[in-house]
Amino acid sequence: MPPHPLRIAARVEAVTLVVLLLNVATVHIQQITSLMGPLHGCAYIFVVAAVLRQPGADGVAKALALVPGAGGLLALRRLAGAGNAPAVPAGGAGNASAAGVRPAD
């Protein structure tokens, strides 16, 4: 499970982006932008640094962390599922129905 500070920063990154976009799309109050912009930027940098330092993070999780706004949440999802995913045989032949192959009768 990813560390608690990473989970908090990922949520802060997403929420501040939503607030910034809603502010720009509606009333565009400068004080909201002045507060949320730097907060969003700091949360983004924290998420990227935390995922890069995470021992179980693979290349995909690190790349997802670079996506502004939703990258932290996507990386968290990848990190949380990294230890739970079943191994798929080479070629993805683990599920015959997904490949369109019908079982023999």
Domain presence at residue 87: no
Digit-coded pLDDT (tens) for 65-90: 999 989 999 999 999 986 554 444 45
Domain presence at residue 50: yes
Domain presence at residue 89: no
Domain presence at residue 20: yes
Where in the sequence is the domain holding 54, given as residue range(s)?
4-82
Return the HEC string of the chain: CCCHHHHHHHHHHHHHHHHHHHHHHCCCCHHHHHHHHHHHHHHHHHHHHHHHHCCCCCHHHHHHHCCCCCHHHHHHHHHHHCCCCCCCCHHHCCCCCCCCCCCCC
Tell me how many domains the chain contains.
1
Digit-coded pLDDT (tens) for 31-46: 999 999 999 999 999 9
Q: Report pTM.
A: 0.73
